Each structure stands twice: as structure tokens, then as C-alpha cells.
Amino acid sequence: YDLVAIPLANANWQERWERMCTITASATEADLGAVAAGLTQQGEEQRIESEDWRAGGGFLRTEVNITRSEESGNLITFASDWLELDSPVEGIRFDAELALRQEIAYASYLSITTIVIPPPKLENREYLADYARAINGALASSWHINISIRLPIAEYSPAELTARPGTPAFAAVTGDSDRCETWELWNTLRGLCGYSPRLTLMLDLSNPLPNQRSLGRWHAEPVRHIFLPCTSFIPNAKAYPVLSKSMQAFLKGIFRFRPTVVLSGTHRNLHSAGGHLAYAQYVRFLYRKSHELVPVEEYAQGYMDHLQQPLQPLMDNLEGETYEGFEKDPIKYRQYEEAVFRALMDRPQDSVTTIYVVGAGRGPLVAGCLRAAERAQRRISLTAVEKNPSAYVMQVIDLQERSALEWGSQVKLVYSDMRSFYPREKADIIVSELLGSFGDNELSPECLDGVMRTLKPDGISIPASYTSYLAPISTSRLHSEVTNPAVASASTVVDAKPAEQPYVVMFSQFHMLSEAGGRLGVDKVQECWTFDHPRPDVVVDDQGLPFTNHHNARSAHLSFHIPRAGVCHGFAGYFEAVLYADVMLSIHPERAAGDMLSWFPIFFPLAEPVYLPANSELDVQIWRLTDNTKRRVWFEWAAQTYLVASASP
């Protein structure tokens, strides 16, 4: 074992607390009157003992399981599980809160950093705010303590539990319904605690797992610990403890976030083979399996849930490292080469095709065009245009070397902004890669507008078009980051209003809230808008440049079907580009090939989370806006949720 998990205090403390508190806390007016009148000597003594404790008493030595701070390294401690911070009895609530503060003060004194607290109860839901207030107070009482709420993954009625979990009978009584009750408690609680990053979850898997569809929401939550008792294991053919297929699948997903697994009851000999270590060995085996990564996951490891400012390659000049990152992409250049190849194959065999690669960077698309020409057996005249002086220099060095060796004089290099590039001859094909995670967010439309005047009337642009997509997501971790900049990764959240700007991010701990279908038969991930190139309807001046940028403003009104309750923290944005004919680039989560490295999705956060009831509709508006300066482009977004009520006859 790596750590030991034990309760901080023992039964002696429970016995004294109950003696001191429950009697006075539940005393009726009549009892109190009797005590006040001195009728019961014993009652009076208890009142004094209780008041003494409330005035600031602590533990007795015999009441705690840990007494020295040397023992506290590698410990996870449990607060007393009988503390009822949400008791319907007011006096018990207040005394439980005092007891909790005492346990936290003692844990802090011992330098313990994590304490696990018993969860609020479903039947005491109306006292959830009392519970949350006590937790908030506890968080404020010690700045280094982390509180983990030990929350059952689902609650079942006694009738449901009499049917054996995992059997058809259990499925029949529990039904197909979404078991979201305990998540609802958690969602209200963490909202009342302001999404404190020090408030996390110990997901208790003692109860049977609910159906698959109820489980996805936990992927968006800060599950730091998993509580796994020996009773959740089943024996395999050789009597070793193993977990059911559905539990394995659930844990495989959750283990990606590296929670600490707390095993309990392993010495009870519930399973006859393997001994008490068999449970830990099996969990380690599952843990290892869940960390076997495909190449793209391996590449993305350091970027998981890391908020990045979107690149602005028009305004800023990119770093060498950024180009190096792009150039590792195994798919992008292959697709571009294929698109150019197909376009060349559609050209007359004996023609010479003029190609401009605009925004050529360090030249990988130039190389792709040359390969395509070779494959297609077509002659080309190739010009590469780049405005980043450093990338241009690299290209010159690279191309000079390469042209001496392999490319001859086929490639002409031009150092220029493409919008002020005035070649003598017009192009048959313009190739560019100015795409951002949302397609148009790195200003590809504005740049290409400025260079389309160098394209022949029947010329083509690669890409021919690109489309932006959006989907609502839950991601408590990223919400905490954009609303508590103190916890955000230092390099990223810089804006004065961090919850009002988009970020590029490889989502990991998130859950997509929408599904296909619903009343309107909508898609899970929905299309916002498309840009086509070239675009003959744009009004241009005598230089061939657009008068304004208004034709690049866009708006979309989307309506998502939300089948299960959840909380929306923002939107994930994706794009798809048609390079040529049916040659595509896509990061659409339902259609992407999967190992493209150049683009992570984009995140449009919401400053205030929006609670979405089951079977609701989420209306989202998003705008791409521009002003008369022709320089500024920005996004705005808004969301409202609706429950559709059926009209009574």
C-alpha cells in the first residue's frame, strides 16, 4: 500500500460527544425547564460538561487514533462518520459543526492535508445549505486542508437493494432511470462553496453502479479518491477478487485522472484466494491498463486540461517551437498533399499549374505540394509567401539547401504579408493553413480575403471551406480555473475577465451534456457557420481588397437536447475543413480520425454555471463580430435553458 486511510478519532470520542451533545441538543422545553430548576443533578452536570466543550474543549488523548505528527505522513484521514452536519435537529447540527472544526484543527496541527467528510443525506436535503455553510466555514478555518466528501455514487431504496445487484431482477426494479440524486447534492454543495478547489470528492463505490448513462457526469467532477470496499469485488473462476465488467469500464475512465483508491475490508477474507493483497494487486493491474496511451494521448499528456491562449499568428510571429509542434502532425500534411494531388489530377495534363502557398511557415506545405506534383506527374510553378521574418529565414535556409539538392529552381520565396503580395501572374491554386481550433478564429477569412485577388477567376483555394462546431460541456476543473485565477496555470489566464475569453485546451476531465435527438431531432455537436473560399460576392476596392469586414461577421442560434441533468460550464468548439473535393481535416469529436496533433479544441467558458434539468433544451447564441477598423474580430456567446412543458388539453 502507498498510503493508510484511518479515522482521526475513535469510539471514545463518539461516546463523549453523544453524551455531551445529543441529550442537550434534543432536550425538550420541559426537560430544559427541569434542568434549570435543578431537578436533575445529572442533567446539570452534563450541561456544564457540554458548555465547557463548546467553549473550546478539544480531544482527550484516548479519543484519537493519531497522536504524533510523524505518524501523519502518507495518511488520509476520515472525520467521524457520525457527524450530522445536515441533521434536522438544530442543536445536533451546531454541535456537529463544532466537532468538525475540532477535527480539522487537530488534523491541521498534525500537518494532515486531506480529511474525508461524511456526505449530506438525501433525506435531509432541506438542510443541505446548513451542511454547505459548515463546510465553507471548515475550509476557511484552515488554509491548507483539503476536504473530500465521501459521496455514494448512487442511492437505492431498501426494496431495490433486496434484488441482487448485477442481476436482471435488479435492473428491473432500479429501472432505466438516471440516478443523479447524489450528484445533485454534490452540485448544490460545491456551488454553495464557490467551487473551492480545496473541496473534492471521494466517490464511494459501496453501492451498485447505476446504468452506464448515469456515469458519464462523474468524469467532469474532481474525483480525487475512490472508496472501494471488498464487498464491491466478485470472485473469479479461481476465487480471486475481481470487479464486474461495468465497474472495470467505469474505473478505466476515472483512473485517467489518477485518483487515490482507498480499499476497505481487505482482511475480512471475503474472497478465498489471493489473501488481503489480492485487492490492491488487482486495482494496480487496472490502473496500469488505463494508462496505456495511443500516440496522440501520449503527445497530449502534458497539455491535459491546460488552458492556453489561442495563437494569433497574424498579429504575433510564432516561435520556432510552435512550428516544430505543427510539423510533427502525421495527418495534416498527408491530407494537404492528397488535396493538392487531387486538384492537380483535375488539371489538363500538359498545363503548368501556378501554386501560391501563403503563410508557408518553415515550408512543410511547400514540400507537400512538390510531392503531390511528382505523384500527379504535373508541372508546377510554386511560390511560398510568409510574413514571419524568422520562419522566412528558416525557410530560405531550408529551401536553399533543399533546392540545391532536390527541388532545383521550382520554388520562389517571397517575404510579405499575403494581403500586400502583388505577383505579376495569378495563381491556379492558393494553398494555406491558417486554421484555428474553431476554424476561423486565427483570422483565416480575413487573410484569405486579402490574397484572393491573386487567384485566377477559375482558380481554387485549398482549403475550400471550413465549418465551426459547438457542444455544451461540464468541466468543474476548468470552471474553477477561469473563475479562481489564483489556481489557474500561471501562463494562461491573463485577461482581466478570464471567464470571458476563449482558450485552447485538450479536454480531459469533462463531460458532454448534449445528445442527439430530443423534441427537435438535433445533433449532439452542432454546426455554427461556414466560410467558403474564394468568395465572389465580396465587394472589393480597386486593389481587390474588401471595403469592410462585415461579410465575415457571423451568428448562430443553436438548440441542444439535454437528456440528463447536468451543469454547463461552457462550450467545446471544433472545426472541420474541406481541403479539396472529399479530402477533409476534422477535429469534430464524432468524426475526427483521432491522431491529428495540430489542433486541440477551443473552450468558451461561462462565468456562471447553468444548471440543466433532465430533458431540457439549451439555447445557445454565439457571434463572430468585427468592427469598422478592419482590425478587430471577437466572439461573444450566451446561453439559456428551457424545460418544454406539454400543454394540457
Q: Which residues are catalytic?
A: 433, 442
Provide the sign of the torsion angle of the four alpha carbons 590, 591, 597, 602, taken in this order: negative
Distance in Å, CB of 327 to ligand SAM, minimum: 6
Q: What are phi and psi of 337, to 5 degrees?
A: -60, -45
With CB under 6 A as the contact rule, the residue among 75, 128, 307, 314 that binds ligand SAM is 314
Q: Does 43 bind ligand SAM (CB under 6 A)?
A: no
> Which residues in 464-494 are b (16+ Cβ under 10 Å) and which e?
bebbbbbbbbbbbbbbbbbbeeeebeeebbe
Distance in Å, CB of 416 to ligand SAM, minimum: 7
Distance in Å, CB of 369 to ligand SAM, minimum: 11
Query: What whole-number distance in Å separates Cα of residue 195 and Cα of residue 193?
Result: 6
| Contacting ligand SAM within 274-313 (CB under 6 A) | 313
Query: What whole-number distance in Å separates Cα of residue 7 and Cα of residue 609?
Result: 35
Distance in Å, CB of 491 to ligand SAM, minimum: 20
Selected range binding ligand SAM among 381-389, 498-506, 536-544, 603-611, rule: CB under 6 A: 381-389
Query: What whole-number distance in Å separates Cα of residue 513 and Cα of residue 217?
Result: 8
Q: Does 534 bind ligand SAM (CB under 6 A)?
A: no
Cβ proximity to ligand SAM, 359 vs 498, nearer residue:
359
Placement of cell 485518483 in the chain:
259
Query: What whole-number distance in Å separates Cα of residue 128 and Cα of residue 523?
Result: 36
The DSSP result for 30-62, as a single string, is HHHHHHHTT--HHHHHHHHHHHHHHTT----GG
With CB under 6 A as the contact rule, the residue among 419, 426, 535, 630 that binds ligand SAM is 419
In 199-300, which residue ranges form alpha helices assigned H by DSSP?
245-255, 277-290, 295-300
With CB under 6 A as the contact rule, the residue among 94, 299, 303, 326 that binds ligand SAM is 326
Q: Does 387 bind ligand SAM (CB under 6 A)?
A: yes
Q: Does 380 bind ligand SAM (CB under 6 A)?
A: no
Q: Does 337 bind ligand SAM (CB under 6 A)?
A: no
Distance in Å, CB of 464 to ligand SAM, minimum: 17
Distance in Å, CB of 474 to ligand SAM, minimum: 31
Given a contact cutoff of 8 angstroms between Cβ atoms, the answer to whether 442 and 577 are in contact is: no
Site residue total, ligand SAM (CB under 6 A): 23
Distance in Å, CB of 544 to ligand SAM, minimum: 15
- CA distance readout (Å), 386 to 263, 359, 421: 59, 5, 10
Q: Does 318 bind ligand SAM (CB under 6 A)?
A: yes
Q: Which three cell numbers stand for residue 649?
A: 388539453
Selected range binding ligand SAM among 240-248, 343-351, 359-367, 462-470, rule: CB under 6 A: 359-367
Alpha carbon of residue 534 to chain centroid: 36
Helix 181-192 × helix 128-141 angle, to 10°: 50
- Residue 602: name the closest of 435, 431, 359, 433 by CA: 435
With CB under 6 A as the contact rule, the residue among 203, 372, 418, 587 that binds ligand SAM is 418
Q: Does 427 bind ligand SAM (CB under 6 A)?
A: no
- CA distance readout (Å), 284 to 77, 241, 481: 22, 13, 31
Distance in Å, CB of 303 to ligand SAM, minimum: 17
Selected range binding ligand SAM among 22-30, 281-289, 353-361, 541-549, rule: CB under 6 A: 353-361
- CA distance readout (Å), 118 to 55, 151, 567: 25, 7, 23
Q: Does 391 bind ligand SAM (CB under 6 A)?
A: yes
Q: Does 546 bind ligand SAM (CB under 6 A)?
A: no
Helix 389-402 × helix 364-376 angle, to 10°: 40
Question: Counting runs of H as helices and runs of E as strands, what totals does the chain give?
Answer: 18, 24
Selected range binding ligand SAM among 2-10, 273-281, 382-390, 398-406, rule: CB under 6 A: 382-390
| Contacting ligand SAM within 436-455 (CB under 6 A) | 447
| Residues 6 or more apart in contact with residue 595 via CB below 8 angstroms | 294, 295, 296, 330, 331
Cβ proximity to ligand SAM, 75 vs 358, nearer residue:
358
Given a contact cutoff of 8 angstroms between Cβ atoms, the answer to whether 488 and 197 are in contact is: no
Which DSSP symbol is given to 397? Answer: H
Q: Does 433 bind ligand SAM (CB under 6 A)?
A: yes
With CB under 6 A as the contact rule, the residue among 25, 112, 385, 584 that binds ligand SAM is 385
Selected range binding ligand SAM among 248-256, 354-362, 479-487, 510-518, rule: CB under 6 A: 354-362
With CB under 6 A as the contact rule, the residue among 18, 181, 305, 417 that binds ligand SAM is 417
SS3 27: coil
Q: Does 343 bind ligand SAM (CB under 6 A)?
A: no
Q: Does 386 bind ligand SAM (CB under 6 A)?
A: yes
Placement of cell 488523548 in the chain:
61
Query: What whole-number distance in Å separates Cα of residue 280 and Cα of residue 265?
Result: 12
Query: What whole-number distance in Å separates Cα of residue 449 and Cα of residue 462?
Result: 13
Cβ proximity to ligand SAM, 97 vs 386, nearer residue:
386
Distance in Å, CB of 605 to ligand SAM, minimum: 24
Cβ proximity to ligand SAM, 364 vs 502, nearer residue:
364
Taking residues 119 to 158 in sequence order and writing x for each that binds ligand SAM by CB under 6 A, - otherwise, the string is ----------------------------------------
Selected range binding ligand SAM among 85-93, 109-117, 413-421, 640-648, rule: CB under 6 A: 413-421
Placement of cell 490492491 in the chain:
280
With CB under 6 A as the contact rule, the residue among 134, 339, 344, 434 that binds ligand SAM is 434
With CB under 6 A as the contact rule, the residue among 220, 307, 343, 360 that binds ligand SAM is 360
Distance in Å, CB of 408 to ligand SAM, minimum: 21
Given a contact cutoff of 8 angstroms between Cβ atoms, the answer to whether 29 and 102 are in contact is: no
Given a contact cutoff of 8 angstroms between Cβ atoms, the answer to whether 374 and 403 are in contact is: no
Q: Does 388 bind ligand SAM (CB under 6 A)?
A: yes
Distance in Å, CB of 404 to ligand SAM, minimum: 22
Point out which residues bind ligand SAM (CB under 6 A).
313-314, 318, 323, 326-327, 358-361, 364-365, 385-388, 391, 417-419, 433-434, 447
